[in-house]
Amino acid sequence: MKRNRSPLNSIYNLPADMAVRILCLVGLASAAMVPPLLLTGGFTHEPRLILYGMLCFAFSALSLTWMKVTGRLDKVSDAFDESIDTADTGTDTLDSLQRRLDALEEKRGDASFDPWTALDLRRKIAKRRHDSSGYKDEPDHME
């Protein structure tokens, strides 16, 4: 009996790793809030907003530094890369779609095989081939 190798059972989905990823996302969000808080606080002469901006900057810098020092930044980076690789971005090349279909077909007969995903990949490959052939379904209308 084979182990289920779904993305949900990944080694990156341990609770401690999930907490580090959440910390990374909160750190990125706080880094994104620094310029608006500082600018708004500066224009409105509101020291509270400037203080919040500096606290967000300190939190994002400390969380990034902590992840770098402990070596967890690489794990977080790998996990985000894995999630991006499995996401459908719409920019897949014909070769990458074919490789994904081949990898999925190797799982045929296994409980983790998803026929609907295979069908979706086949349709995307057919559409990509159709689009690259230059064939148009509708004739050009003269005006």
Same domain? For 45 and 82 the reply is yes
Q: How confident is the model at residue 142 (pLDDT cuts 50, 70, 90)?
A: very low
Q: Are residues 83 and 52 in the same domain?
A: yes
Task: Quick: pLDDT tens for 77-131.
Answer: 776 776 665 555 556 677 888 888 888 888 888 877 888 888 888 888 888 888 7
> CA-to-CA distance for 24 and 22, rounded, in angstroms?
5
Burial grade of 104 (CB within 10 A; 0-12, 13-18, 19 or more): middle
Question: Are residues 25 and 66 both part of a single domain?
Answer: yes
Whether residues 42 and 100 share a domain: the answer is: no
Residues 113 and 72 both lie in one domain: no
Same domain, 76 and 40: yes
Contact at 8 Å (CB) between 66 and 79?
no
Residues 110 and 56 in one domain: no
pLDDT level of residue 13 (50, 70, 90 thresholds): low
Are 69 and 121 in a shared domain?
A: no
Instruction: Output DSSP code: residue 69.
Output: H
Same-domain check for residues 81 and 100 = no
Number of domains in the chain: 2
Residue 44 maps to a domain = yes
Clarify whether residues 98 and 126 are in a common domain: yes
Residue-wise pLDDT for 55-90, tens only, equals 999 999 999 899 889 888 887 777 677 666 555 555
Structural domain boundaries enclosing 122: 89-133
State whether 21 and 78 are in the same domain. yes
